[in-house]
Amino acid sequence: MAAAGALACRDLRKTFGGAVRALDGVSIDIAAGAFFTLLGPSGCGKTTLLRAIAGFEPQDSGTITLGGLPLDGLPPHRRPVNTVFQSYAVFPHMTVAENVAFALQMQKRPRAEIAARVEELLALVRLSGLGGRKPNQLSGGQQQRVALARALAASPRLLLLDEPLSALDLKLRNEMRLELKRLQAETGITFVFVTHDQHEALSLSDRIAVMRAGKVEQVGTPAEVYERPASRFVADFVGEANLLPARRVGARRFAVAGGELEAAEDGPEAATLVLRPERAMMAPDGPGLAGTVAQLVYDGADSTYHVALADGLVVRVRVGNRDGRRFEQGAAVRVSADPAALRVVTS
């Protein structure tokens, strides 16, 4: 039998208005105790998938199981699942402690047990001593922690998080990323996190599913998705990437912008080479693609050079500023890459 927190979605389909395919045959396996992220642009289907798992948006077809037990047809309150929303959704008329205790009271747990659990959860989310405050007396980050504590109160097997950090400012968002990762590690609960923010996905996740137009484009670890994108879309959406139109001219050799690059893998006659800016190399001469520095963006520790190649294609090259060496605008350069740094994709 599947582990208690393991989630399996099989061939999920959901259509809105008879035409919009929000889910178009989605199949995903999520291991128990994992921090799993659904990543993609607006309208890709990630929130619809999350709502289907929660029971808020029943799928048209397909199956969802948790620990081998079917969730299909169960109303949200019958599923061992809880959800944290973008808007916090804490009860403004209740104190922090009352918010956290709410689900336990609905389950008619003993008062002493509820009080102990509330104290335990407030300590877990680092809000000890604030149980008597109302939500309007808390910062946005503190309110989000209350929402997390309330969602964890009944010890769900699965916690769904629908872009819970997007309403916070940058500093709080960065702090809450660390808190989420810590909470997931300490509780061992399976987290399914929805975001359109690639940095959140890469920094938080054990595994990521990149979605597009109701389909899953790729599932993998953050390193796999970033270093080995399965498609042009994934390469372009996750991190910065140079997408170089190429023509194969030999075994693992590709013509690009009037020059040639060698990849570690072969590909079709017409392909796209993916080269991350930090993996690109630049020198005043030597092998690679001839170009001219069109723009330099200084960013403290790093500089990003925008290099115009022979056919007008612009390639970004990111280099560290450690040695103080700099190429000036208008300088003639050669752009190259280690074969292992190039990924060949076709779509």
Q: What per-residue confidence (pLDDT) applies to 4?
A: 64
Q: Whole-prediction pTM value?
A: 0.89
Evaluate the CA torsion angle 67, 68, 69, 73 in order and state its sign.
positive
Q: Is residue 45 within 8 Å of 214, Cβ to Cβ? A: yes
Place of tokens 């077809």: 61
Residue 87: what pLDDT? 76
**pLDDT at residue number 5:** 67
pLDDT tens digits for range 125-150: 889 999 999 988 998 888 888 988 99
Which of the four pLDDT bands, split at 50, 70 and 90, describes residue 2?
low
* Per-residue tokens: 185: 């590690």
Nearest-angstrom CA–CA distance, 153 and 334: 58
Q: How many angstroms separate the CA atoms of 42 and 27, rounded?
A: 20
Q: What domains does the chain contain, in order, with CATH numbers?
A: 7-232 (3.40.50.300), 240-345 (2.40.50.140)
Q: Which of 184-193, 255-264, 323-332 is predicted least confidently?
A: 323-332
User: What pLDDT score does 1 carry?
Assistant: 45
pLDDT tens readout for residues 31-84: 999 999 999 999 999 999 999 999 999 999 999 999 999 999 899 989 999 998
